[in-house]
């Protein structure tokens, strides 16, 4: 006897729970779903057809889920357990466990999945699905049926103790319901006997049989006859044969080919030789018919789905063709308008880009002129102004002036200022550290002591010519400003190398620089030069004098 027959009542009750809702605003199921239900268990091919229409065309998720559930049960009933599983799993995709109206369908899906796994002898998966079904069952009667399915799975799995414990609890719960009590009692006695062949299960099996006779439970009688035939097979073969015959009659009355095949299998085992031929012929005929019917059902279900999908695709294609014909003229006009609009926009974009490009060229030209003017101003300051100041310093503080040497300095200054816009740093034969010493010492006098610390050839060997050029003018500007404004008596310039940076510390004991003083061209040029070589600087104002810290990387690329 197939477990899907047992669950039929549970399924119908759960589906009723899916569609019943006390709120008047809840819509009724789609007409095609009702149409399928009208054929269910009467003409399953027609039922499957209408349920497939709902599954492929409906918009309500609960209707779609219910349609897939019906389809899964029909497929499993016809022997297509894998196809049934597929439909039931699709049903789950349209259900929300947090929606109360979906929970009845969820319990049906999980229970039917459990039945499919049980028929495929995948017992652990069956138990898992049955337990999931229990989460959503509210009716105690349906809960009893689900628990009975779990116990039956434990029995078939061979886990008799688990099954017996469940049957014991179910006996207590169903003692006031004769049909359910008879089912649990018969299964309980059979499980106890399967665990221990010496267990006297006959009394309990006979009691369950009598209850089923009194209540005219046809399916229950079929199960009882099967259990009694199995129980008496070894101890009382005649009784076993008798009950096998009764089961065969009941199966034919029920028009259940599967149960009839099982009964015939038992009769072939127990009957005398003269009856075997007729039983075996019937058995062979039924098994062939059942297999043919199952194959036909699978093909029929696949064909129904194919035809439905094809019709839907044809309808969609027809709608698409009609829409294309109706919109063809509109599309053509739209393309023409779009083309015109494109050329208009393209023209506007080209004009705007031309104007923007012209503005960029003008701006770049102005910036280039400004940069050139700034560079020229800086060179005039560095070459002419500071050069003249050094000559003036020599004239002011040196007692004896070498006239020829003075003329040479003026001539060099003259040559450098003739075409100052094109001046480039030139390589000097004098080592850079010596040139720095000469530069700084030239600002010393009787009243101003200049102390130089750390200025050696190794320090400047790490720097390139461009850095050296900028450093020379930075130091020259600092010393010129010192000479003009600081009134200092002592100046110290300390050079150091730390972590890839050249450190220059300038210190004097003069009057310092007031925070309100605005930088002139000299200090502004000095700041620009420091930034140009990637350096940093800070001005410190102690109680007396001035400190300036300058640092720059030796690997600065210019």
Q: Domain ranges in the chain?
A: 3-205+292-312, 431-553
Q: How confident is the model at residue 315 (pLDDT cuts 50, 70, 90)?
A: low
- Topology of domain 3-205+292-312, per CATH? 1.25.40
Residue 410 pLDDT exceeds 90: no
Single out the residue of 519, 522, 550, 521 nearest to residue 534, CA to CA: 550
- pLDDT tens digits, 37-75: 888 888 878 888 888 888 888 888 999 899 899 988 988
Percent of the chain having pLDDT more than 90?
Answer: 31
What's the token pair of residue 306? 């194919």
> How much is the pLDDT for 5?
46
As a whole number of angstroms, the distance between CA 24 and CA 469 comes to: 93
Q: How confident is the model at residue 8 (pLDDT cuts 50, 70, 90)?
A: very low
Is 118 within 8 Å of 3 (Cβ atoms)? yes
As a whole number of angstroms, the distance between CA 170 and CA 172 comes to: 5
Residue 377 pLDDT exceeds 50: yes
Residue 528 pLDDT exceeds 80: yes
Residue 151 pLDDT exceeds 90: yes
Q: How confident is the model at residue 94 (pLDDT cuts 50, 70, 90)?
A: very high
Winning range, highest mean pLDDT, from 138-142, 208-212, 554-558: 208-212
Residues 6+ apart with CB under 8 A from 345: none
> Which of the two residues, 191 and 32, has the higher pLDDT score?
191
Positive or negative, the CA dihedral 39, 45, 47, 50 is: negative
Winning range, highest mean pLDDT, from 193-207, 331-345, 507-521, 525-539: 193-207
Phi, psi (deg, nearest 5) at residue 435: -60, -40
What's the token pair of residue 371? 């940069």
Helix, strand or coil, per DSSP, at residue 80 = coil
Winning range, highest mean pLDDT, from 301-305, 327-331, 462-466: 462-466
As a whole number of angstroms, the distance between CA 15 and CA 37 comes to: 11
Question: Rounded to 5, what percent of the chain is helix, strand, coil?
Answer: 75, 5, 20
> How much is the pLDDT for 154?
94
- pLDDT tens digits, 428-459: 678 999 999 998 998 888 888 999 999 999 98
> How much is the pLDDT for 7?
44
> How much is the pLDDT for 486?
85
What's the token pair of residue 278? 């007729």
CA 481-482-483 angle, 5° bins? 90
- pLDDT tens digits, 395-406: 666 666 666 666
Q: How confident is the model at residue 4 (pLDDT cuts 50, 70, 90)?
A: very low
> How much is the pLDDT for 375?
65
Residue 368 pLDDT exceeds 90: no
Residues 6+ apart with CB under 8 A from 189: 201, 204, 205, 208, 227
Winning range, highest mean pLDDT, from 134-148, 188-202, 319-333, 519-533: 188-202
- pLDDT tens digits, 251-304: 888 888 888 888 888 888 888 888 788 888 888 888 877 777 666 666 666 667
Residue 21 pLDDT exceeds 50: no
Q: For the chain, what is the mean pLDDT?
A: 81
> How much is the pLDDT for 141?
84
Q: How confident is the model at residue 6 (pLDDT cuts 50, 70, 90)?
A: very low
- Topology of domain 431-553, per CATH? Heat Shock Protein 90 (3.30.565)
> How much is the pLDDT for 376?
66
Q: How confident is the model at residue 505 (pLDDT cuts 50, 70, 90)?
A: very high
> How much is the pLDDT for 223?
92
Single out the residue of 136, 131, 130, 127 nearest to residue 156, CA to CA: 127
> How much is the pLDDT for 22?
40
Percent of the chain having pLDDT more than 70?
Answer: 76
Helix (H) or strand (E) holding 82: helix 81-92
> Which of the two residues, 317 and 31, has the higher pLDDT score?
317
Q: How confident is the model at residue 419 (pLDDT cuts 50, 70, 90)?
A: low
CA distances from 433 to 379, 392, 449, 468, 533 (A): 22, 24, 19, 10, 18
Mean pLDDT of 304-310: 65
């Amino acid at each position: 006897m197939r477990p899907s027959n047992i669950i039929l009542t549970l399924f119908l009750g759960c589906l009723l729970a899916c569609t019943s809702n006390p709120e008047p605003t809840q819509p009724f199921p789609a007409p095609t779903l009702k149409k399928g239900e009208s054929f269910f268990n009467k003409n399953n091919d027609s039922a499957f057809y209408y349920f497939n229409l709902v599954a492929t065309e409906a918009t309500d998720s609960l209707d779609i889920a219910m349609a897939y559930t019906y389809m899964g049960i029909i497929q499993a009933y016809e022997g297509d357990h894998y196809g049934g599983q597929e439909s039931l799993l699709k049903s789950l995709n349209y259900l929300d466990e947090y929606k109360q109206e979906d929970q009845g369908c969820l319990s049906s899906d999980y229970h039917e999945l459990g039945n499919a796994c049980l028929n495929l002898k995948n017992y652990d998966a069956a138990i898992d699905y049955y337990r999931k079904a229990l989460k959503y069952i509210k009716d105690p009667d349906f809960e009893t049926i689900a628990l009975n399915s779990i116990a039956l799975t434990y029995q078939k799995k061979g886990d008799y103790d688990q099954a017996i414990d469940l049957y014991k609890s179910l006996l207590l719960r169903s003692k006031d319901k004769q049909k359910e009590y008879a089912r649990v009692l018969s299964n309980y006695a059979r499980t106890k006997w399967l665990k221990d062949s010496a267990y006297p299960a006959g009394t309990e099996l006979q009691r369950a049989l009598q209850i089923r006779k009194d209540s005219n439970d046809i399916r229950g009688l079929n199960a009882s006859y099967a259990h009694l035939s199995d129980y008496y097979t070894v101890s009382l073969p005649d009784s076993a044969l008798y009950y096998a015959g009764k089961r065969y009659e009941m199966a034919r009355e029920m028009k259940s080919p599967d149960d009839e095949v099982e009964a015939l299998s038992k009769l072939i085992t127990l009957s005398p030789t003269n009856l075997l031929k007729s039983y075996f012929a019937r058995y062979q005929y039924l098994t062939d018919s059942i297999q043919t019917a199952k194959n036909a059902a699978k093909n029929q279900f696949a064909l129904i789905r194919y035809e439905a999908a094809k019709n839907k695709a044809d309808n969609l294609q027809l709608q698409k063709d009609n829409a294309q014909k109706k919109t063809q003229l509109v599309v053509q006009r739209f393309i023409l308008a779009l083309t015109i609009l494109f050329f208009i926009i393209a023209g506007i974009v080209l004009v705007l880009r031309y104007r923007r490009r012209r503005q960029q060229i003008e701006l770049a030209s102005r910036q280039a002129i400004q940069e050139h003017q700034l560079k020229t101003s800086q060179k005039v300051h560095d070459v002419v102004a500071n050069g003249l100041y050094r000559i003036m310093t020599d004239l002011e503080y040196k007692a004896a002036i070498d006239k020829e040497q003075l003329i040479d300095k003026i001539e060099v200054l003259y040559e450098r200022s003739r075409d100052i816009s094109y001046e480039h740093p030139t390589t000097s034969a004098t080592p850079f550290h010596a040139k720095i010493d000469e530069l700084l010492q030239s600002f010393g006098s009787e009243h101003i002591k200049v102390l130089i610390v750390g200025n050696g050839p190794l320090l400047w060997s790490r720097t390139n010519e461009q850095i050296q050029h900028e450093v020379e003018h930075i130091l020259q500007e600092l010393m010129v400003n010192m000479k003009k404004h600081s009134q200092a008596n002592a100046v110290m310039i300390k050079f150091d190398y730390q972590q890839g940076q050249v450190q220059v510390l300038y210190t004097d004991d003069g009057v310092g620089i007031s925070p309100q003083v605005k930088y002139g061209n000299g200090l502004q040029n000095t700041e620009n030069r420091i930034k140009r070589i990637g350096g940093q600087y800070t001005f410190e104002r102690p109680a007396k004098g001035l400190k300036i810290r300058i640092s720059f990387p030796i690997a600065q690329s210019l």
